[in-house]
Amino acid sequence: MRLSQSPLRIRARRTVLPAVLVLALAATPAATVAPDDGSTAYAVGGAAYGTDAFGRPQISNTGQAYLDAKLPIRHRVEDLLLRMTLEEKVGQMTQAERGAVTGDASLIKVWGLGSVLSGGGSVPTPNSPQGWADMVDRFQAEALKTRLQIPLLYGVDSVHGHGNLLGATVFPHNIGLGSTWDPDLVRRIAHVVAEETRATGPQWTFAPCVCVARDARWGRTYESFSEHPGLVTRYASSIEGFQGTRSGELRDNDRVLASTKHYAGDGDTRFGSAAGDYTIDQGVTVTNRRDFVRIDLAPYVDAVGRYDTGTVMPSFSSVDWTEDGEGNPIKMHANRELITDVLKGKLDFDGFVISDWEGIHQLPGDWATQVRTGVNAGIDMFMEPNSYQSFEITLLDEVRAGRVAQPRIDDAVRRILTKKFELGLFEKPYTDRTHLGDVGSAAHRALAREAVAKSQVLLKNSGGVLPLKKNAKVYVAGRNADDMGNQAGGWTLSWQGATGQDRIPGNSILEGIQQAGAQVTYSKDGSAPTAGSDAAVVVVGETPYAEGFGDVGGPEWPWDPEDGGVPREEKSLELQPVDKAVVDKVCGAVAKCVVLVVSGRPQVIAPAQLAKIDALVASWLPGSQGEGVADVLFGKRPFTGKLSHSWPRSADQEPINVGDRNYNPLYPFGWGLRTK
């Protein structure tokens, strides 16, 4: 899911709609009434309701069963469903992007939208906790002006923290968290992320990603906890952190609705199978049914059965069953067997399915066929960021023509309403700002620091170079030593992320080393004199990317304002030339040389270069608290991390995964040296 896209890949659907048709979709448009006493009230369907001290509409409870909090949720849902028109039901199945309604929030009311989202980089002004809460509440006020006053559900990609929000705690990406081998830590992190997210308005996160990444050339590898389905399944525990562990906890002000993604097989696609200029992202999972269940479906069994995930998001990818020969892939957004028969049937999933960003636009056929296919496959809510109006009109036509059955619509809406009731939105539709001051708090950053330290994997430590002495004279070099944007990676303030030391608050790795008490000389390119240094720490690795633009051999992103139209470096499993050069220069000059690799996947280290390196550390993408890296470098915490992804000897070994025949990586799955 994302916001910004390459202009060549955008498939926008611009529909000019007659005013009469727009008005017809609002079952009973709200009218403003000005009472004689000077207060404000609204009339909806002939019933007036008042406003709160902030002038926001309040839900008018005049005895409707669906507004009786004492009744079981299932009874409230059925009562509300019986009151709804077809237009109102279709509205609940529709999600628009905030950018499409910000200029005119009344569109939420007119089109009866059930949900709004922020894509990557889609933020309010100011981009602050207060700014977010005000924005979400402004949108919610419009939803409460509709006839039945069904609250809005707001979704955001809090995938490693509330990453769109400037000042939020930014945790390591999943590849780093997977290397902690600590599901309880991941659960605690998800709880903090939920608290920071809900305090600012959104009640729903498009997380966790439980993809099983089987090829490090994939641009989303860092979103994967592990190449091993068993380890990924353990991290489904994050759902408990988001949603809570007890019935009714979802309505608390520190919990959010989870969305387990991307169902299923997105990390197992074949290199070269992707469409367009991507090489592996959104490609085809070519597999037999037994392996699909064992590898790709496995994490969803616990996500649904044990952790009761509230929503599931299908993958952009396709599956091609080898039992009937290769060459006839089925897009996941069209896969009725896997969505309806398996997920909702065999796995007994009782939440709702949300499409990925314009996911049905990739299905075969014309627009009406795409809409019909997606709904009939079992998708309940549709992420139509800019095509929401056309989607609603088309789905209404499909139902009236009998090509989509009314019971399918009712099933979708029933699932959506159930989650809205479970979130307590009918009782408290506006943002509970109790924890607003805790966003980016010292306690939250301390947890992030702990996670960073536990995620570091010590791959090599010749002669016990690590840990370093606290008072050592340390020469620090490398482009990733002092760059907050690079160490946070993609999905940080924008879809693709961006390079830049001041991009987010926190501490860079260099700052963490300086805070540890060492005598530091810093030279980004290694050009400063090295004489007198006890040890060197060279920090190299990748620059930010997301999804297909992170595919090895894929397209190069130039569209963020920070890029100035200049394409970013081509993605590779090899260290970039600038990184190789600084490693050679510094490690050739300083007797004890430590190399940290800040990256979203393993990076191949040539044997000749590895021989010059005394200690090698996989630092992954640590996020906002670089001092966690310094904690293990100087022995404040021991190295305990272990590889959750195999580290290849050469790029041509990919795909390489534990259990493969002739498995021979440079560092195997589970590898990780320890220090005291």
- 3-state SS, residue 538: strand
**Could you tell me if 660 and 650 are in contact, meaning their C-beta atoms sit under 8 angstroms apart?**
no
d(CA 312, CA 256): 14
**Could you tell me if 220 and 211 are in contact, meaning their C-beta atoms sit under 8 angstroms apart?**
yes
Which among 320, 547, 551, 614 is annotated as catalytic? Answer: 547
Planar angle of CA 226, 231, 234, nearest 5 degrees:
125
d(CA 388, CA 12): 11
> CB-based burial of residue 438 (10 Å sphere; 0-12 exposed, 13-18 middle, 19+ buried)?
middle
Which among 182, 356, 422, 631 is annotated as catalytic? Answer: 356
Catalytic, 562? Answer: no
Instruction: Report whether the peptide linkage leading into residue 208 is cis, meaning its omega lies within 30 degrees of zero.
Output: yes
d(CA 493, CA 120): 7
* Core vs surface per residue 622-660: b (16+ CB within 10 A) or e: bbbbbbbbbbbbbbebebbbbbbbbbbbeeebbbbbbee
Catalytic, 356? Answer: yes
Signed CA dihedral, 522, 524, 528, 533: sign only: positive
How many other CB atoms are found less than 10 A from the CB of residue 68? 14
DSSP string, 281-293: TT-EEEE-HHHII
> CB-based burial of residue 94 (10 Å sphere; 0-12 exposed, 13-18 middle, 19+ buried)?
buried
**Could you tell me if 315 and 330 are in contact, meaning their C-beta atoms sit under 8 angstroms apart?**
no
What are the residues facing 48 on neighbouring strands?
43
Which amino acid is located at 201 in the chain? Answer: G
User: Closest Cα partner for 165 from 219, 114, 203, 201?
Assistant: 201
d(CA 501, CA 291): 44
Distances (CA, A) of 57 to 50, 151, 212, 478: 6, 11, 45, 55
Query: Tokens standing for 563?
Result: 């890029």
Tell me which residues are annotated as active site: 356, 547
